[in-house]
Amino acid sequence: MRRLFLYLIMTPQTDITTFDDIKLLVDTFYSKVQKDEFIGPIFNEKIGNRWPEHLEKMYRFWQTILLEVHSYSGSPFPPHKQLPVAKEHFDRWMEIFTQTTDSLFAGPLADEAKYRAKNMAEMFNYKIDYFRNLEKNQTNNS
């Protein structure tokens, strides 16, 4: 009986279905990011005291992607273009995102969130590398 109880309280029971679920995911995730020794300083320096604004934007972003409520518009990459990050930073970001999602939710939309986050991390990493190499080549050819 004790094992069943632990299973029930430790296993996510629901999928991401509401805006409140999005807020829980985003708030929990970025709370961990802010405290993370590896990627936290990068986020905290870039965002500074604008965390509430950033979180609101992330709610709208994930609501648009997962719940198909079109509340986000814009291009998510440009603010990340000049960040001092490499693949290992994206790997850590993804690790925290996956752990957070898995600890809170289970189902097709939770899986979709992890899939989309993975694709976004890979694309951002690729594009940041591309622009760095482009700038390096332009500097070397000048």
Annotated binding-site residue? 80: yes
DSSP state of 44: H
Query: pLDDT tens-digit profile of 49-64?
Result: 999 999 999 999 999 9
Classify the C-alpha dihedral 102-107-109-111 as positive or negative. positive
Roughly how many angstroms between the first and final C-alpha of the chain, as a whole number? 72
Q: Give the residue carrying structure tokens 């994206």.
A: 90
pLDDT (tens digit per residue) in 86-105: 999 999 999 999 999 999 99
Q: Grade residue 141 by pLDDT with cuts at 50, 70 and 90.
A: low
Judged by DSSP in three states, 87 sits in helix
Q: What global pTM score does this model have?
A: 0.85
Q: Which domains does the chain have, with CATH numbers?
A: 15-74+83-91+117-125 (1.10.490.10)
